[in-house]
Amino acid sequence: MNNLKKIGLTALAGSLVAVSANAIEMSVSGATSVSYTSASTATAAAGSQGPGGQAIGVDTTIMFNGSGELENGFTVSSYAALDDGRANTLSSSQLTLGMGSLGTVVFAQQFGTAANGIDHMVPRVKEEAFDQAGGSALQNFGRATAEGAVTYKSPSFDMAGLSLSFGLDYDPAAGNASDDHDAVTDKGAGGAGSGIGQVVKISSDMGLTIGAGREVISGQGKAGDKENITGYVLYTMGPVSVGYQQYYLDNGNGAGGAGNTKSSPDYDGDAMSIAFNVNDNLSLGYGEINETKGTVAGTLAVASTPATDRDIKSFTAAYSAGGMALTIQQTDTDNYALAAAASARNVENTHITLAFAF
């Protein structure tokens, strides 16, 4: 009798596994690219990265997608990407619960949050202007709350002919790398606390979109919270798209001694760009980013750091045919490292990429 029970339970377990497997659709896709980069430096002070150079690189990403539907009509999907540019580790990973008219909940192990999704909203052709310019504070918008976070994304609401949507992020350990499913981050006395991200977007059928976002990280071990704010305007008419975005990063009050109220500088800047789809295969784009690194007050023992500016100008041309894309990006950056005038260096960067999707 006991043997019959075991057989019955085994058969039931097998049928449940079969049903679950049939309810889930799995797919694997990928992309690989080879690139040539050439950089030259107009001025190079002692201790800088040198006058420039050339490099050839290959980057491959493999993406895994799984999705299924629950009995109540909700959908569940899982996404994970492996990137050899990150030592074959996860470059993106999310579990998404779609609730129809109730919106979407994203459990973000790596990226996929609402705030991090608007870190560069001006039009681009393949690459952002800051890609070959040493990064930007704009690039880091929403970054601190993009790992080990939960996100709610609302559906779109119609209001007076406009479409309105919003998103909310919560990260209990902002600024820390994502944990395993059963691990806990030790924030430490000087680490960041929890983080909240908020975004809102309004768009019309006339091609105009307006959006804004805010990220706040509690200042555990500091006298003030860290706050990241951005706002953008986009307009698309036929094959042409133009956009403008402003951003401001307040790094909060530091925990240093008297007279040193800032342990990290604030940043502010703006970005603008235009993109033109010449035809189904060829696209052209131009973008600029102007960024200021704020002053850090000094102490009796440490000299103050003056404000510095960086200007990025980037032109991109991309041609695609089938699963192949050729991209050429020319970027000129004044004061690449946001250094003081005596150490400033200007960098010209040419980046050519041939990419294939499979």
Q: What pLDDT shows up at residue 344?
A: 82
Which helix (H) or strand (E) segment is 10 a member of?
Answer: helix 2-23
Average pLDDT, integer, range 121-145? 89
Q: How far is Cα 207 from Cα 238, in angstroms, rounded to an integer?
A: 9
Q: Which CA distances in Å does 309 have to 55, 267, 313, 336, 341?
A: 28, 10, 14, 9, 9
Contact 35, 352 (CB under 8 A): yes
Q: How far is Cα 241 from Cα 288, in angstroms, rounded to an integer?
A: 15
Average pLDDT, integer, range 252-264? 55
Kindly report which listed range (61-65, 194-198, 337-341) carries the lowest average pLDDT score.
Answer: 337-341
Measured CA angle at 244 (ends 282, 287), to 5 deg = 45
Residue 257 has pLDDT above 50, yes or no: no
More confident position, 230 or 71:
230
Average pLDDT, integer, range 54-60? 92
pLDDT of 180-236, one tens digit each?
666 676 665 455 688 999 999 999 999 999 999 999 998 665 557 889 999 999 999
**In sequence order, what DSSP letters do the residues of 245-275 get, joined into one string?**
EEEEEE------STT---SS--EEEEEEEEE
Look-up: residue for tokens 């403008």?
A: 244
Structure tokens at 211: 């959006």
Place 15 in a pLDDT band, splitting at 50, 70 and 90: very low
Contact 300, 284 (CB under 8 A): no
Q: What pLDDT shows up at residue 43?
A: 65
Q: Describe the chain by its helix, strand, coil percentages, rounded to 5.
A: 10, 50, 35
| Domains along the chain with CATH numbers | 28-357 (2.40.160.10)
What is the overall mean pLDDT for the chain?
Answer: 84
Average pLDDT, integer, range 135-139? 88
Single out the residue of 208, 128, 132, 198 nearest to residue 165, CA to CA: 198
Average pLDDT, integer, range 114-135? 90
Single out the residue of 254, 285, 255 nearest to residue 272, CA to CA: 285
More confident position, 238 or 186:
238
Q: What pLDDT shows up at residue 186?
A: 65
Kindly report which listed range (39-43, 126-130, 265-269, 350-354) carries the lowest average pLDDT score.
Answer: 39-43
